[in-house]
Every structure is written in C-alpha cells, then in structure tokens.
Amino acid sequence: MSEEKPKWQEPIDPKTHRRLLRFINAAQTPEALAFLPKNEIPLEEPDPVARHPVFRHEMEEREAITDMAHARRLLNERDDFSPTLGFGHIDELREVIGRLDLGQWLDRVIACMGPSRFGKWTDIGPVQTPDGTPVEVVHAAMLRNGWVLFIEAACRPNSPSLTPLWNSLNRATVEFKSPTPPTDNLYCSGHSFLSDGRLLVVGGGGDFGHTPHPNFGWIFDPVAGPDGTWSFTKDAANNRTRMAFDRWYPTLVTLGDVPGRVLIASGRPATQMEIYDETSGTFSSVTAVGGERQFSALYPGLHLLPGGEIFFAPVGFRSGGSAPGDFPGGEPSGYFEFDNTNPTQGSWHDIGPNDRTKGMSLLLLSPTFPYVQVMTIGGGNLARSRTYQIINLSNLSPVWQPETNLPLKTGQVEPTSRVNPNPVALPDGTVFLSGGAPAGEACWLYNPATNVWAEMDEAPRERKYHSHALLLPTGEVMSCGWQNSTIEVFAPPYLFKGARPVITTAPDHVHFGEHFTIETPQAEQIIKVVLARPMAPTHNTDTEQRIIQLLYHCCGENVLQAIAPDGWLPHATAPAGYYMLFLIGAQGVPSMAKFIKLEAED
C-alpha cells in the first residue's frame, strides 16, 4: 500500500503555482519569507512604489510562520539554485522544503496563494441558443427565477434581438433557453426591474447609423410560459404605448413610488426625461424646472437615493471603443429632486464637475455613517482612468473626495488604466472590480469599511466596451461581453472559507417594515442579513445594484427575526420588487440566496 503524500506535496493549480514561485523568488530578505503573506494593498502612498502584490511590508500586522534562521536558509538555498531566476518549478522548491523540514511553512504559503485569498475564475461556456447557435450579447439581467437574460448585439437591420436565457443555478450542465424574441431590435436599449419582477426595456434599435431611434417599450416576464414571455408596453385598453421621444443608449431608474414608476433619461436624441407608470402602462414627460440636463455622455450614471432624489454621477458613453480621453463640456454631477406636489416635475441641483466618461458608478449603502455614498471608478482621461473617487451623500453639503489611485499590480509603478470597468457590490459589503483592462490584469476586492484593496485572481479575458458583470444568487459574479460571449464566473474568497449558512425557510414576500422570520441551522453564527437587488447591466452601466443590510436578532437556536426596509414614502432605500436574501456567516461566507418580494401592504 502506497504511503499518502504530505499535503505540501499534493498537486496545486497553475495560478497558485505561479503566485507561490513569484512570492518566493521576489523575496529580498528573510523577513519576507518568515511572515504570512497578504494580498491586501493599503491606500496609496505619497510616493507610490512597486511592491509585490501578495504581501505588505508592515511586519507587525503579519503572522510569523517560521523563524528567521529557517527563512534565511531557504533564501540561501533559492539563491544557490539560481541567483537570478530562483526556483522554476514547485518540485524544485519541494526538494529544498523536504531537506529543511519546512512542510508546514509551505502548506501555509500555498493556502495564502490559492482561492481562499484570491478567489477563482471558471469558464462556463459561450452564450448560445439551445441548438448551439452562438449569440453575441451586450445586455444582461438577473431574473427572479435564477436565470440570466441576455440581449443580443443584433447587427442585422430590421431584425429582432435574440434573448437567450442561461440557468445560473445549474452547474451540472450548461443550460440555455430561447424565449420567443420581441419583434423589435433591443440592442443599445435601457432596462430596469418593475415591482413585480418583470424587466422593462425601452429604446435601443441597434447600431445602423443610429437611425431610426425607437420609442418603443417592451416587458419580459420570466415566469410566464415555459421560457418567459415578451410583450410590448400597453395601457388598460390593451393599446400599445410608446415613449414621447426616441431613445438610443438611455438609462432607466426604478423609483421608490408605490405603485411603481421608472424614470427614463438620456438616449440620443432625447433630452427631456420621461416616466413609465407600471400601473397604467403609459409614459409621461418630466419637466425639469430651470432647464433640462443635456447628458452629453449617453447611458449616464443615475442612482436612486434613500430620500427619493436621483443622483447623477458623470460616467457613461461619449463614443465607442475603450480608449481613455478628455471629454470637454461634461456637465457637473448633481441630483434631481421631484416636486412634492407634482410627480412629473422637479429640478436639478449641481454639486461639482467630475467627468469620468467611460467609467462606472455604483451606490454604496451602510447602516452606519457614512450611510449613502456613490463610488466612481476609471473613465475620463488617462490619469483619471487610473483612479477612483467617492462622494459621501449623507451630509448636507456633499463634495467629491480627491481622486485616489487604484492599487498597483505586480511590478507596476502606476496603476492600470480602467476604461469601461465592471464593479459589482457583493453581499458582504465589499466591491469586486473586474473589466476595463487587458486580459491577465488583476481583479480587485475593495472594502469600503477599511479603504483597503485586495488583489484577486487575474482576469481570463479582456472585458471593456459592451461588457457586463452581475451578482448571482450563489454569491458569485458572472462576467460576459466585449467581443467575446463566453460566460465566466468568479467565486470570491469568501466561498473558500468554510460551509455556507443555509436558509431553511423564509417568506416569499414581505411588506415594507415587516418583521419576518428566517429559519436557519446557523442562526447563532449569522453576522449579517442582507437584501441584494438583482442587477440589469449594459455598456458598463447599472442603476439597480444595492446591498441593504437589515436589522435582525437571533430568537432561537434555528430562528432569526429580521426587519424589512421601510423608507416610508417614497420607498427609495429599497424600491418594491424582488431581492436576493443572503445570510452571512461568521467567516463572511454567504448562503445561497432566496428570492423574496418586497412590497407594500394592500
């Protein structure tokens, strides 16, 4: 019977192998090998320097894993092997480790170089129809039944868009469905979710000289029929309704009103905003007292604030492609406030310039101060595209914080330019950043609570213009688009830190402000209960994503009681609709999500 190998002699995956050799061969002093490596990157220094990405140099914050004598011997053995290249393969290192009796040291370092620190990308396969026809996709939406809806980049004049569906919950096989497509072309449209979980899609029309600019609206119902059903917007008399203006590259924002309404902004050639009322099925124009916002960048970054205002972060598109550049004439950021007595009228309030055209913005909510922030990443000219900014909207006089450099990748002196990036808010409160950079570039995990970035697994493919990423109910992130419709899924480090909590039972729907019960065997270990609104991104723009941490308490060995969000009226902290309910365990591990409907009482 063969003797079982020690853990440090077991095979490791290629990415962990590369990180391990890079770490050991980059070490300049015994201290670098004597302490547990980290992949966290602190905030930028006044004079940025190249650093190895998998450890910080603050020894007092790192855990010792061997003594200096053993570390010095390992360093000498490496230099004896090759003073210029070091170890070229883990087997060379293992031979030395065996002689020095440092197997436990190698086990610890291998663990630090693997998915539990860096996460892991996995290829799913290309988006296609069930018969195997590949589909180039530009739009995506996370539906309430666990399927992801894609909208094709239909570059065929006068043809409808294919809208394949992918089952994100089935990993045993790659499962697609093909609902009967709408009779119009939805390429370059805008979309957001209605209060009943259906997806509203307006405008678009493809890319055929940007004409005609359609004014139609379509709705996708994910649970009607076996594959879901498309229908055009219509009034109570079943007459088709249309917007007052043609729109190409519009942004949609679901408002906090009950019954639900959706704000529609921008979209060439329109300048005036509109509102879709889901109760009547009709569109109405919005008057901006004091002047309409021009939105020189299409797909402007718009976010619903807890007070009901619409915040404008000047990200979006001015032109195709993924090159940074100066975009003069960009309007200042600001917010639109609706009149208290007129739901189709309001006014803009400027805050200050911050042109990040071809960047992306996202809303950050917190139960503690700062309660409301908006983060913008990349975009703008070359210098700005290497930075991010945050504005705290919790105070009466918000101002943009200074530009801060994005973290440095291996061997870099200045950060990577990020153009058309894809930040995704995760259920544990962190932000995952991918896209906007060439293949092989590091992805990053940002913690708003600590202002610390951590390097993640390298991006397998380039994802820029026409790409998108969204949060899955598994707690993973799906990435797709930009001249390659292969679906990739990123598993964050929290999925490699232990068993998931389990939601045994939870209600299918709750009312605003309702106290509701969640049954879980891990009730006493839960540290957060959150709602994550499903995303619906396109062209690196998404207005839906928001992570809302709920108040809760443990009231039994297997029972939690949580309180649904209640913004009174409007319900702008969490608009009515479907959410993914996550439980976060003691190690930061999320449960599988349960879709739950948040609604007003009848």
Tell me: the pLDDT tens digits for 420-441? 999 999 999 999 999 999 888 8
Structure tokens at 45: 């220094």
Q: Please report the pLDDT score of residue 49 as a whole number.
A: 35
Q: Considering only CA atoms, which of 310, 381, 315, 314 is closest in space to residue 346?
A: 310
- Cα 351 to Cα 364: distance, rounded to the nearest angstrom: 18
Q: Please report the pLDDT score of residue 262 as a whole number.
A: 98
Q: HEC profile for 26-82?
A: HCCCHHHHHECCCCEECCCCCCCCCCCCCCCCCHHHCCECCCHHHHHHHHHHHHHHC
pLDDT in tens, 263-277: 999 998 899 999 999
Q: Considering only CA atoms, which of 508, 500, 503 is closest in space to residue 589?
A: 500
pLDDT, average across residues 475-479 = 98
Check whether 4 has a pLDDT greater than 90.
Answer: no
pLDDT in tens, 234-293: 999 999 999 999 999 999 999 999 879 999 999 988 999 999 999 999 999 999 999 998
Share of the chain above pLDDT 90, in %: 77
Query: Do the first three CATH levels of 133-495 and 497-599 match, i.e. the same topology?
Result: no
Query: How far, in whole angstroms, is CA 298 from its chain's centroid?
Result: 20
Q: Considering only CA atoms, which of 391, 308, 220, 249 is closest in space to residue 571?
A: 308
In total, the chain counts a number of residues equal to 602
CATH class for the region spanning 497-599: mainly beta
Separate counts of helices (H) and strands (E) for the chain: 6, 40
Q: Please report the pLDDT score of residue 516 as a whole number.
A: 98
Cα angle, residue 583 at apex, residues 113 and 306 outer, rounded to 5°: 105
Q: Which element (helix H / strand E) includes 231?
A: strand 229-232
Q: Are 50 and 44 in contact (CB under 8 A)?
A: no
pLDDT in tens, 74-93: 999 999 999 999 999 999 99
Q: Please report the pLDDT score of residue 46 as a whole number.
A: 40
Amino acid at 589: V
Q: Please report the pLDDT score of residue 446 as a whole number.
A: 96
Asked which of 130-139, 157-166, 244-253, 468-477 is least confident by mean pLDDT, the reply is 157-166
Structure tokens at 560: 């939690």
Of the two residues 493 and 60, the one the predictor is more confident about is 493
Burial of 361 (0-12, 13-18, 19+ CB in 10 A): buried
- For residue 148, which phi and psi values (nearest 5 degrees)? -105, 125
Check whether 101 has a pLDDT greater than 50.
Answer: yes
Q: Considering only CA atoms, which of 590, 488, 409, 492 is closest in space to residue 115?
A: 492
Instruction: Categorise residue 428: left if φ over 0, alpha if ψ from -120 to 50, beta otherwise.
Output: alpha
- Taking the model in full, what pTM does it have? 0.94
pLDDT band (50, 70, 90) for residue 501: very high
Q: Please report the pLDDT score of residue 38 as a whole number.
A: 81
Query: Chain-wide mean pLDDT for the chain?
Result: 91
Q: Please report the pLDDT score of residue 297 as a whole number.
A: 85
Q: Please report the pLDDT score of residue 95 as a whole number.
A: 94
Amino acid at 358: K
Q: Are 442 and 458 in contact (CB under 8 A)?
A: yes
- Cα 454 to Cα 470: distance, rounded to the nearest angstrom: 20
- Cα 93 to Cα 83: distance, rounded to the nearest angstrom: 14
Cα angle, residue 236 at apex, residues 233 and 237 outer, rounded to 5°: 100
Asked which of 150-154, 189-193, 327-331, 507-511 is least confident by mean pLDDT, the reply is 327-331
Q: Which element (helix H / strand E) includes 109?
A: helix 103-112
Structure tokens at 506: 């939870």
Q: Please report the pLDDT score of residue 157 as a whole number.
A: 64
Q: Is residue 334 classed as helix, strand or coil in its secondary structure?
A: strand
- Cα 248 to Cα 189: distance, rounded to the nearest angstrom: 6
Structure tokens at 76: 């000498």
Instruction: Categorise residue 5: left if φ over 0, alpha if ψ from -120 to 50, beta otherwise.
Output: beta
Amino acid at 144: R
- Cα 52 to Cα 56: distance, rounded to the nearest angstrom: 8
pLDDT in tens, 16-72: 999 999 999 999 999 999 998 888 876 554 443 333 344 343 434 678 999 999 999
Q: Are 498 and 585 in contact (CB under 8 A)?
A: yes
List the chain domain ranges.
Answer: 7-37+50-114, 133-495, 497-599
Helix 68-81 vs helix 14-26: crossing angle, to nearest 10? 100
Q: Please report the pLDDT score of residue 329 as a whole number.
A: 62
Question: Which stretches of 290-416 are assigned E, i.e. beta strand?
Answer: 301-304, 310-313, 315-316, 333-338, 345-352, 356-357, 360-365, 372-377, 387-392, 404-405
Q: Please report the pLDDT score of residue 595 as a whole number.
A: 98
Of the two residues 157 and 514, the one the predictor is more confident about is 514
Residue 30 Cα distances to 72, 190, 433, angstroms: 5, 55, 33
DSSP assignment of 126-183:
E-B-TT--B--EEEEEE-TTSEEEEEE---STT-PPP--EEETT--SS--EE-PPPPS
Q: Please report the pLDDT score of residue 562 as a whole number.
A: 98
- Cα 18 to Cα 105: distance, rounded to the nearest angstrom: 17
Check whether 218 has a pLDDT greater than 70.
Answer: yes
Q: Please report the pLDDT score of residue 54 as a whole number.
A: 42
Check whether 374 has a pLDDT greater than 80.
Answer: yes
User: Does 133-495 carry CATH code 2.130.10.80?
Assistant: yes
